[in-house]
Structure 1
């Protein structure tokens, strides 16, 4: 018997995802046509012996989250429950706080997945590796280039046994080009080191004279408090993958993750990819079109396009490397490139909405998405264009490398600006 835990965080996280995270919890943002964490749930549901999937975070259980959980339970025929933290408890605090629910029924092991990663989720291969060599902690690792590895948790392994000898979270100098993917397989005994950290936190609070044990003592960082401390003690191992993987920290990385998932649909969900049909729009590359969307026959779509529920695409529209969200309208002959068009937004005739891609270096097989900053030297960096919820773009204007906050009605062109 197996279980899975998906760590979804909470509203104080995902600031780099604004203004999109104003409208839905980040884990429910559509990536390649389905909510971000549906990719995680689909992968977990395919593992033989999976009995339950738990979501842990500190979002309020709103209508959108409740509807998603109900639909997911029906679709995958699995219990899927949300366990709400009373405060942000870090990447390990929620696991310890809800340990009784995780261990109920006596699972042999449980997967732990961060919600903000895109992956092909080689959970079956991880399970095989764990059963060959049972240990408390198994981490999924992949390779990054030397420079970008500094932005991740770095793993030094024994190349023969794959034991983690050393772990450093975001080191200041090069440690290893093997990075932590944020996908784990834990044995039940993995919760004992979390208990030790909790008890140590409690003792530290008492020595400091702090009152109460929560939430301070309950805040546990898996990476710094557990992986770093236990490395080299025969408890943590790494399983390496060369499959797709990326963090989803910003809107730009969501667009890149959409491309990875759309490409993977050719193997996993070919029915989700739009087909070129007589009298239909021109499809180039991988495109997702929701069945309720209305797309004019003269539109040209793709590659890497995701069109959401109830979207209207007018005649002559050119759409490429973009996500168009629920209820948006692109009027005749608009051009949308490297952009995200928010829920219910309207782009007027002959308007151009364009961003600048920030993709990994195609000539470097180990390059990853940069964790881009919005500003450098006080200037807004060129990046993808984001239209928030219910934005109106007038006809015949250019919106380039800009972020438009929700409910704005523009009257002219903008370049490299945040429009408040």
Structure 2
């Protein structure tokens, strides 16, 4: 059995992920010590008979992405290619545009996964579910449950409880529809392209109608290929006996914002007990005090009097000096945490410095920091389209002077601060 995996690379501009996306494409941002995309690739590589992984997106490939793909191919011994869209086509439009490459190996099925999701990725379970529920050519959505308020931020699924068939699908409804939400991970047979093609044909006909009416489309013929799987395809497929939902009991979250990366890091660190115990730091003689789940890159230099954890990720070349306290945070490449500083619920950017006795602190927005599987509404950092900082984020090459406090603030790259700040975005 041949299978492909198609990873969508997420948002076109990644504005919610600023200032961190200024330095690295969002899908390559390190979460729990490895690039966000690597978690997807590791899960795919475990699926029997997985033939190839295709990454699709509108990003211009650069040296960093090419290096990541080369290293991932060598590590996981699987073909990985990046296919760049000529325009932002949406999830449905992207896979339809590259459908010839997806079906070139005559796969029986293929996965489509959004890059900005954090999950246990129950891919083999989805395959078994597809065989047990519905026809071999049926389509499967990975779903999970949310509370009534959270559910309205996602695609909502109404299912037949006996057969798990999707009877009704609504993307981000204005009122409560269902507590089963779409996780952005799908299992398709090649038949899906017939349904996407129907949407493409309809879009073309509508464009012709606009031209006959004397109206010009600002997007030209690109508009016909811009297809959203959720709104344009799933809504029409629901109730036709082709679309099913597999509900996972494992963890899941979106990584829409920089703040939600800390929550995702916690989930992956907790999973490492089963999947990668070697990535978790332990208390050793002459080493720092480790509390809970902590990832430390081997190149980091950490004073034995420092205390790290729970839920901390320390990147390459980081220096952590005497008496430092880090909790619920991500510390990125080359950062320098000086004597007795404190970093809580924060992201410290590349090559940034936190001075002696300084305090960099955010307020956790998730419901229960003691429960690594507690679900969080990843939209809580954004209300009515405006950013509401609840964690502290230091961009690249930021310097925090000694004995100051940075609380619930976002600091853009290359800033040398000279005083304390609270609840601000520092441009």
For normalisation by structure 2, the TM-score amounts to: 0.95
Instruction: Give the superposition deviation at 1:131.
Output: 2.0
1:339-354, aligned counterparts within 5 Å? 339-354=346-361
Do 2:256 and 2:378's aligned partners in 1 also have CA atoms closer than 8 Å?
no
1:372 aligns with 2:380: yes
Do 1:136 and 1:188's aligned partners in 2 also have CA atoms closer than 8 Å?
no
* Counterpart residue number, 2:67: 67
* Counterpart residue number, 2:183: 181
* Counterpart residue number, 1:140: 142
Distance across 2 between alignment mates of 1:376 and 1:398: 28
Pick closer, same or farther for the CA change 1:59–1:172 going to 2, 3 Å.
Answer: same
Distance across 1 between alignment mates of 2:323 and 2:384: 37
Deviations, residues 215-239 of structure 1 (Å, cap 9, x unaligned): 2111000001000011101110111
* Counterpart residue number, 2:207: 205
Instruction: Give the superposition deviation at 1:135.
Output: 3.5
1:34 aligns with 2:41: no
Pick closer, same or farther for the CA change 1:72–1:252 going to 2, 3 Å.
Answer: same
1:410 to 413, 417, 421: 417
1:95 aligns with 2:95: yes
Deviations, residues 308-329 of structure 1 (Å, cap 9, x unaligned): 0111001110000000001111
1:329 aligns with 2:336: yes
Distance across 2 between alignment mates of 1:230 and 1:175: 17
Secondary structure at 1:340 match in 2:
strand
* Counterpart residue number, 2:319: 312
* Counterpart residue number, 1:128: 128
Distance across 2 between alignment mates of 1:214 and 1:159: 41
Do 1:360 and 1:370's aligned partners in 2 also have CA atoms closer than 8 Å?
no
Distance across 2 between alignment mates of 1:71 and 1:376: 40
Instruction: Give the superposition deviation at 1:213.
Output: 5.6
* Counterpart residue number, 1:190: 192
Aligned residues: 418
Deviations, residues 108-127 of structure 1 (Å, cap 9, x unaligned): 00000000110000000000
Distance across 2 between alignment mates of 1:11 and 1:24: 14
* Counterpart residue number, 2:5: 4
Pick closer, same or farther for the CA change 1:361–1:336 going to 2, 3 Å.
Answer: closer
Instruction: Give the superposition deviation at 1:368.
Output: 2.9
Pick closer, same or farther for the CA change 1:370–1:80 going to 2, 3 Å.
Answer: closer
Distance across 2 between alignment mates of 1:83 and 1:89: 12
Do 1:144 and 1:366's aligned partners in 2 also have CA atoms closer than 8 Å?
no
Distance across 1 between alignment mates of 2:374 and 2:78: 36
Instruction: Give the superposition deviation at 1:361.
Output: 5.2
* Counterpart residue number, 2:56: 56
Do 1:400 and 1:415's aligned partners in 2 also have CA atoms closer than 8 Å?
yes
Instruction: Give the superposition deviation at 1:374.
Output: 4.9
Pick closer, same or farther for the CA change 1:149–1:306 going to 2, 3 Å.
Answer: same
Secondary structure at 1:343 match in 2:
coil
Secondary structure at 2:52 match in 1:
strand
Secondary structure at 2:200 match in 1:
helix
Could you list the runs of 5+ residues in structure 1 that have no partner in the other structure?
none
What is the aligned-residue RMSD (CA, Å)? 1.7
Secondary structure at 1:147 match in 2:
helix
Pick closer, same or farther for the CA change 1:166–1:9 going to 2, 3 Å.
Answer: same
Distance across 1 between alignment mates of 2:268 and 2:146: 20
Secondary structure at 1:188 match in 2:
coil
- Bigger mean CA offset, 128-137 vs 159-168: 128-137
Distance across 2 between alignment mates of 1:384 and 1:374: 13
For normalisation by structure 1, the TM-score amounts to: 0.96
Distance across 2 between alignment mates of 1:363 and 1:258: 14
Pick closer, same or farther for the CA change 1:269–1:219 going to 2, 3 Å.
Answer: same
- Bigger mean CA offset, 357-366 vs 59-68: 357-366
Distance across 1 between alignment mates of 2:351 and 2:331: 10
Instruction: Give the superposition deviation at 1:375.
Output: 6.2
Could you list the runs of 5+ residues in structure 2 that have no partner in the other structure?
none
* Counterpart residue number, 1:47: 47
